[in-house]
Amino acid sequence: MTDCRLVIHGGAGVIDRASLSANREAQFRQALQDIAAAAFERLTSGASALEVVESAVMALEDFPLFNAGHGAVLNADGIAELDASIMDGATRSAGAVAAVRTSRNPVQLARAVMAQTEHVLLAGEGGDRLAAELGLPQVEGAYFVTKERAHQQALAARLGKVTLDHDSAYNGPAPNDKSGTVGAVARDMCGHLAAATSTGGMTNKRAGRCGDTPIIGAGTWADDDSCAVSATGHGEYFMRTVLAYDVHARLRYGGQSLIDAGNAALASVAALGGTGGLIAVDRYGEIAMPFNSEGMYRAWVGADGLVNVAIYTN
């Protein structure tokens, strides 16, 4: 039996300390703490890494301040189009959905694509139709839209920008203290690894734009022989560097440590001009959480079994 590990994130970006009120910061920290504690409890009770990353990401999707599920950012048409993926390190099975609009928990649908179809990635209406057929909860588009996200999108549209959730475009009148994309990686009692990621993408993106999150190998990866990875940041750069698979390849073929692999893979993103971060756990239980943005909302449980929460360097 191996020790369990868990890491979750709520997005990386320019998280302006001055504009994040103590009250809001406390809400984020509490949500990360509670969701990580519940997920780790499940792991130590014998749940599989796959089950735990799915349920942790569902809880993060349901929390309105994160950019996933309820509270996701809006595209240029003012609509939430959601991306999610999940991967099982034990079998290297994977499932993903892109630009779905009515499925309440996109990560749950991604798992259904993995478990109940012969496909890996379903996009748009076909994804939502599968969810409805399987009886997964469906909602009106309005369910995802919070007042703050509508305000944020209107401002980005006025500035003519497509932005990461925390970009400085939001400094000024718009609320800029919300967090981003969500994800989870875990190692369970049997030593299996899994990863899941879910997002509304980037504010004011073109309708139909998909980022790294639903792309297996870019935003999400898990392989029991190496590591599990969930990424967050400017997705186009993470796709162009195949970030999550790059971390895996550096372990598998380059013999690098998880910390070195995570830093080097993120350096490739930075070299192209991209910002963001990643969370990862390897087969030995090492954890890495590098980011090159001002902050990354995260919580983790290492060998001591205690939940840690951090936003900036602490």
Q: Closest by alpha carbon to 83, among 263, 262, 208? A: 208
Based on the shown chain and the rule CB under 6 A, indicate whether residue 199 belongs to the binding site for ligand ASP.
yes
Binding track over 99-138 against ligand ASP, x by CB under 6 A: ----------------------------------------
Given a contact cutoff of 8 angstroms between Cβ atoms, the answer to whether 309 and 32 are in contact is yes
> Considering the rule CB under 6 A, would residue 214 count as an interface residue with ligand ASP?
no
Does 201 engage in binding with ligand ASP (CB under 6 A)? yes
Tell me how far the alpha carbon of residue 254 is from its chain's centroid: 26
Piece in contact with ligand ASP (CB under 6 A), picked from 20-28, 35-43, 210-218, 283-291: 210-218
Judged by CB under 6 A, which of 165, 167, 246, 282 binds ligand ASP?
A: 165
Which of 106, 127, 211, 290 binds ligand ASP (CB under 6 A)? It is 211
- Binding ligand ASP (rule: CB under 6 A), the pick from 5, 8, 11, 105 is 11
Residue 232 near ligand ASP by CB under 6 A = yes
Cβ closest to ligand ASP, residue 71 vs residue 201 = 201
- Report if residue 72 touches ligand ASP, rule: CB under 6 A: no
CA 218 centroid distance within chain:
12
From the list 181, 226, 230, 275, which residue makes contact with ligand ASP (rule: CB under 6 A)?
A: 181
Find the catalytic residue in 181, 197, 213, 220. 181
Question: How distant, in Å, are the alpha carbons of 48, 95, 284 from that of 215?
Answer: 23, 9, 25
Q: Which is nearer to ligand ASP, 89 or 214 (CB)?
A: 214
Pick 85 or 213: Cβ nearer ligand ASP: 213
The C-alpha atoms of residue 207 and residue 81 are separated, in whole angstroms, by 8
Near ligand ASP by CB under 6 A: residue from 49, 52, 72, 202: 202
Spatial distance between the Cα atoms of 153 and 257, rounded to a whole number of angstroms:
40
Q: Is 181 a catalytic residue?
A: yes
Point out the residue whose Cβ comes nearest to ligand ASP: 235
* 213 near ligand ASP, judged by CB under 6 A: yes
Active site (catalytic) residues: 181
Which residues contact ligand ASP by CB under 6 A? Answer: 11, 67, 164-165, 180-181, 199, 201-202, 211-213, 232-235
